Amino acid sequence: MSKRNHKIAAIGGDGIGVEVVDACLEVLHALADKDGGFSFAVENFDWSTERYKRTGEFMPADGADQLRAFDAILFGAVGAPDVPDHLTLWGLRLSICQPLDQYANVRPTRVLPGIQSPLRHVNDGELDWVIVRENSEGEYAGQGGRSHPGLPLEVATDVSIFTRAGIERIMRFAFKLAQSRPRKLLTVVTKSNAQRHGMVLWDQIAAEVAKEFPDVTWDKMLVDAMTVRMTMDPASLDTIVATNLHADILSDLAAGLSGSIGVAPTANLNPEREAPSMFEPIHGSAFDITGKGTANPVATFWTAAMMLEHLDEKPAADRLMSAIETITANPDLHTPDLGGNATTRMVTDAVIEAVRGRN
Ligand code: ATP
Ligand code: MG
């Protein structure tokens, strides 16, 4: 049988993004060597804020099209303290996610073994969620504008766009995901008491799509009440679906509750596989720790496990996930964000050793 070769586009980006992606590529190659059935052909792209400062562009105009030739994209982080965040977000991440129609943003959250959640009453296994974020429209559709700069009647609008097609596809994705998990439990989050158009449509479509999934138990929550439930009763939740803005905020809360933003992964999926999906840690470029060698690479390793699963390399994904859990269980391998003294290098070496060690 011939070896499966996966073409990976690696975009480290800025700051610690480059450090954690480099570490992750080492782990991926070690996994491929161990397994023997597959390999990776990696191409590195220097698309970043640093490139923007040099050339005026975060990535080439045909950047998203260049990425279509790959099976998956591994992304670090983009951003720098001296460039406004909305430029970086639109200049790179959204310019990839939108043309490649990565409409489902999936964010698993778990308190990994050995890591203490700031919620003291939560033990291992009691916080195990996956948040599905609508990633193509809603509040981040980019519609709106500004007029009358500097005058008292200066106006700025951000218009949210909710389409039936957009809501139906994310809802169906979320129900399907909930159905694939042991508890078959979905919570649909909106703000339909105050936002009476798009959010009401969202509720309505949830009820419609639910009929296709009679074995999934589902409920509705308003986003404000949801933050209370996440902190007070985390074990009552499993799969969660919310809009672009709401899920953005809820998943940062979730990352905090899992112990550190340094362990929180995400995947921007094109579920129909009509274009490559993109895998990244939730955290940003973190210039405060860049170059110190102390960035926690676990979030990027975890997103690589999601990538392997998406590439149909499930045994390798499982091997990597269990290596990650071995490492987090050992406090000597905790980086400073988890209260330890370990370095990116130490964690990477330990994960490589763990993936090589098992049969
Ligand atoms: P950006 O502007 O790109 O979002 P940021 O510095 O504003 O970057 P984050 O990088 O998301 O924000 O992180 C906030 C803080 O969390 C950082 O200042 C850093 O100290 C810490 N942090 C983030 N990621 C990690 C990581 N992988 N390992 C350790 N600490 C991290
Ligand atoms: Mg930031």
Share of the chain above pLDDT 70, in %: 99
Q: 55: part of which helix (H) or strand (E)?
A: helix 49-55
Rounded to whole angstroms, the Cα distance separating 88 from 64 reads 15
Which has the minimum average pLDDT: 26-30, 44-48, 157-161, 192-196?
192-196
pLDDT tens per residue across span 301-312? 999 999 999 999
- Which residue is closest in CA terms to ligand 1's atom 19? 286
Tell me: pLDDT of 357 over 90: no
Tell me: pLDDT of 206 over 90: yes
What pLDDT is attached to residue 36?
Answer: 83
- Which residue is closest in CA terms to ligand 1's atom 12? 284
Q: What is the mean pLDDT of residues 152-179?
A: 97
| 286 Cα–ligand 2 center, Å | 8
The minimum-distance atom of ligand 1 relative to the CA of 282 is 11
- Which residue is closest in CA terms to ligand 1's atom 14? 286
What single DSSP character describes residue 92? I
Q: What is the mean pLDDT of residues 69-83?
A: 96
Q: What is the mean pLDDT of residues 302-326?
A: 97
The ipTM assigned to this model is 0.94
The percent of the chain in helix, strand and coil, each rounded to the nearest 5, is 45, 25, 35
Tell me: pLDDT of 91 over 90: no
Nearest one of 185, 173, 319, 342 to 263, comparing CA atoms: 342
Tell me: pLDDT of 124 over 90: no
The minimum-distance atom of ligand 1 relative to the CA of 296 is 28
Tell me: pLDDT of 127 over 70: yes
Nearest one of 114, 30, 113 to 349, comparing CA atoms: 30
What pLDDT is attached to residue 125?
Answer: 67
Instruction: Name residue 62's amino acid.
Output: D
Q: What is the mean pLDDT of residues 80-89?
A: 89
Best of 11, 93, 283 to mutate for ligand 1, by most ligand atoms within 8 A of CB?
283
The minimum-distance atom of ligand 1 relative to the CA of 287 is 6
Best of 261, 341, 344, 348 to mutate for ligand 1, by most ligand atoms within 8 A of CB?
261
Q: Which ligand sits closest to the CA of 49? A: 1
Q: What is the mean pLDDT of residues 250-275?
A: 95
What pLDDT is attached to residue 222?
Answer: 97
Q: 27: part of which helix (H) or strand (E)?
A: helix 16-35
Active-site residue numbers? 140, 191, 224, 248, 252
Rounded to whole angstroms, the Cα distance separating 281 from 108 reads 11
Q: Which ligand sits closest to the CA of 283? A: 1
What pLDDT is attached to residue 17?
Answer: 98
| 78 Cα–ligand 2 center, Å | 9
What pLDDT is attached to residue 107?
Answer: 97
Q: Are strands 4-13 and 38-45 parallel, antiparallel or unpaired?
A: parallel
The minimum-distance atom of ligand 1 relative to the CA of 20 is 27
List all residues whose CB is within 6 A of at least one atom of ligand 1.
Answer: 16, 77, 79, 85, 261-262, 283-289, 295-296, 299, 335, 337
| 36 Cα–ligand 2 center, Å | 39
Better-predicted residue by pLDDT, 357 or 56: 56
Tell me: pLDDT of 123 over 90: no
| 262 Cα–ligand 1 center, Å | 8
What pLDDT is attached to residue 85?
Answer: 87
What pLDDT is attached to residue 126?
Answer: 79
Q: What is the mean pLDDT of residues 44-62?
A: 95
Indicate the average pLDDT of the chain: 94
